[in-house]
Structure 1
Amino acid sequence: MKLSLGPILYYWPKQQTIDFYQQAINSDADIIYLGETVCSKRRELKTRDWIELAKSLNKHNKEIVLSTMALLEAPSELSVIRKLCENGEVSIEANDFGAIQLLTEKKLPFVCGPAINCYNANTLKILVNKGMQRWVMPVELSRDWLSNIVEDTHKMQFRDQFEVELFAHGHLPLAYSARCFTARSENKAKDNCGLTCINYPQGRIASTQEDQQVFKLNGIQTLSGYCYNLINELHSMQGLVDIIRISPDSTKSLATVSAFKKQINQLPNQQQYWPLDSLQCNGYWHNIAGLAQS
């Protein structure tokens, strides 16, 4: 199994972002995703900056992928996706069917991101025919669901035509909305948000009246309040998963990549058990409540 570092979901200052990727290029990650996937108003790095950064990283011994936004709301955002798709060098993770259409028209291969609602082998077959080379499974699906899909792709004789990537660590991107929840939490309108997301480099916590940390607000994106962590589940992924994704929330995420690398290197032998703390979960993988631990 390979390791990937997913795109930064939060809004970080430009230099902090560049510094992070300069460290990431020397990490244990085999694949590095980058790009703005949440909000087009986040312009610390403009589209040209993302493309130039991706091309500079592509000179190193890593696979570099540019990720597109998951929710398009304006023609200008489609124009950004078009520029990403036409970069001429770096492959694309499509998080919207608009991007898939553009890539299909240009006969370019692509990664199907976790924001694409793909839940069965028939849909995967359609995407493979359009040029999909890798499928990042939607975060809410379980091991059993994945196992059934993989079995179906074997029966349909196309499992060898794409890779399976699994979101295995980080706060799960659960939903997207036209409304900006971070701006609303500060009594600001979305159109006059003041780019307040940059004040919350790891998202803004939303808790219940009983102080249970159920969600994180990240602009128009709602994340899980608990950190998803499948580091103890790698043995159950063998034969199903090709790539393990770590979603970065700080430079500490690079140490998490190394920890997963150590676990992978111990397969198929006994792995080290990593106790999960009270703000970590693995429920979706076990087909139980997402914030639960099994």
Structure 2
Amino acid sequence: MKIALGPLLYYWSRQSTLDFYAQIAESAADIVYLGETVCSRRHELRLDDWLEVGEILAAAGKEVVMSSQALIESESDLKALRRIVAKAEFRVEANDMSAVHLLSTAGRRDWIAGPTLNIFNPQTLSLMAESGATRWMAPPEMSGEVLTELLASGAPAIETEVLAWGRLPLAHSARCFTARHYNLQKDTCEFRCLGMKDGLVLRTREGEPFLTLNGVQTQSARVHNLLGDLASVRRAAQVLRVSPQGDNTVEVLKLFRDAVADEVSPQDALRRSAEWMVEAPCNGFWHGRPGVEQFVKS
């Protein structure tokens, strides 16, 4: 089973980002997804910088994938996407249908269908495979049971990836809710999300963590954690994705590697991971329940 590090969803400083990926080069990750997927206004690293980071990681033995933006809003976004597709040395994760179209038109037969394509049935998955996808990531809200049924109902034989760690990406919007929090317009946001290493937590009136604001992306407050569910995850997926967080990502990757290698039991791994979570765990979606729940089979 492969361990993948998903694209960085937050906006860190240039030096913090470069330092982070220098550590990832020596980490337990087999696959590393790179690039800006959330907001086109985030420019601490440009595409050429991401490509340079990719070359360093590839030299360290990692499979490097360039992730496309999930919400394409302008011609400049499309221009950046065309450049990503044209870089044949790295695979591409398509996160919207314009990326699928460009990859298919270019004859690329090595790309990954990302989670924001919302693939929920074997017909759509077959369409992606026919268009050149060789791996797909199940939507985080898909339950393990539904995923298993989908794969057993005539789905093509391509790699399946599952989000196993990280705050759940729940929605994207043309509006920037981080800017709105500071009474700013999106186009004059002052880059307020820069330096928020794990986003901005939104709380209920009772003070309970509810959601996380991350620019135009809304995430869960809780950390989706499938370490305790590895037995069922293994039956459906070949790749586990860990989403980067502000601290201890390398330690989390190592813990997943140890759990996959049966050097630590899933339940022990879940207990050990508690010190590295930025909030309480949840796994409800995997069990067909509300995503915020932490479900334990009796």
TM-score bracket for this pair, using the shorter chain length: over 0.9
CA distance in 2, matches of 1:99, 1:198: 27
How far is the alpha carbon of 1:271 from its aligned partner?
Answer: 3.9
Does structure 2 retain, via aligned residues, the 8 Å contact 1:67–1:95? yes
2:181 equivalent in structure 1: 185
Q: Secondary structure at the match of 2:40?
A: coil
Q: 2-side partners of 1:252 and 1:271: how far apart?
A: 19
For 2:83, the equivalent position in structure 1 comes to: 83
Separation in structure 1 between the aligned mates of residue 222 and residue 210 of structure 2, nearest angstrom: 7
Paired residue total: 288
- In the alignment, is the contact (CA less than 8 A) between 1:20 and 1:251 conserved in 2? no
Contact 2:26-2:60 within 8 A present in 1 as well: no
Residues in 2 aligned to 1:168 and 1:4: alpha-carbon distance in whole angstroms: 10
Specify which of 155, 159, 171 is matched with residue 163 of structure 1.
159
Determine if the alignment matches structure 1 residue 266 to structure 2 residue 267: no
Match of 2:92 in 1: 92
CA deviation after TM superposition for structure 1 residue 199, in Å: 3.5
Output the aligned Cα RMSD: 1.5
Q: Structure 1 residues 270, 207: closer, same or farther in 2, change over 3 A?
A: closer
- Using structure 2 for the length normalisation, give the TM-score: 0.93
Residue in structure 1 matched with residue 294 of structure 2 by the alignment: 293
1:207 counterpart residue number? 203
45-54 or 165-174: which moved more? 45-54
What's 2:140 paired with? Answer: 139
Distance 2:51 2:195 in 1: 25
Give 1:266 shift: 0.9
Aligned pairs for 1:28-177 (under 5 A) are 28-108=28-108, 109-153=110-154, 158-159=156-157, 162-177=158-173
Confirm or deny: 8 A CA contact 1:58 1:90 kept in the other structure.
Answer: no
- Equivalents in 2 of 1:80, 1:52: separation in Å? 16
The partner residue of 1:227 within 214, 223, 227 is 223
Please give the per-residue CA displacement for 1:210-233, whole angstroms capped at 9, x wherever unaligned: 222111000000011101100011
Runs of 4+ in 1 over 2 A off after TM superposition: 269-278
The 1:58/1:185 distance shift into structure 2, 3 A limit, reads same
Q: Is the 8 A contact 2:285 2:291 kept in 1?
A: yes
Q: Structure 2 regions of 5+ residues with no counterpart?
A: none
Aligned letter for 1:179? R
TM superposition shift of 1:270 = 5.2
Q: What SS is found at the alignment partner of 2:260?
A: helix
CA contact (8 A) 1:182 1:196 kept: yes
How much has 1:55 moved relative to structure 2?
Answer: 2.4
Structure-1 separation of matches of 2:141 and 2:118: 11
SS of residue paired to 2:230: helix
Contact in 2 for aligned 1:263/1:272 (Cα 8 Å): no
Deviations 1:96-123 (A, max 9, x none): 1111111101111210111111100010
Task: Report deviation, 1:57.
Answer: 2.0
Task: Give the counterpart letter for 1:146 in structure 2.
Answer: L
C-alpha contact (below 8 Å) 1:95/1:115 kept by paired residues = yes
Cα contact 1:167–1:244 (8 A) shared by 2: yes
Question: Structure 1 residues 114-123 or 271-280, which shifts more?
Answer: 271-280
User: Could you report, residue by residue, the CA deviation over 1:177-227 in whole angstroms, capped at 9, with x for unpaired residues?
Assistant: 000000000011001001111041210000111222111000000011101
1:51 Cα deviation from its structure 2 partner: 1.8
Residue 257 (structure 1) shift: 0.8
Cα displacement (A) at 1:260: 0.9
- For structure 1, the 5+ residue unaligned runs are none
Residue deviations 1:132-191 (CA, integer Å, cap 9, x gap): 0101110111001101111113xx5x32xx100000100011100000000000011001
Taking the aligned partners of 1:150 and 1:48, their CA distance within structure 2 comes to 37
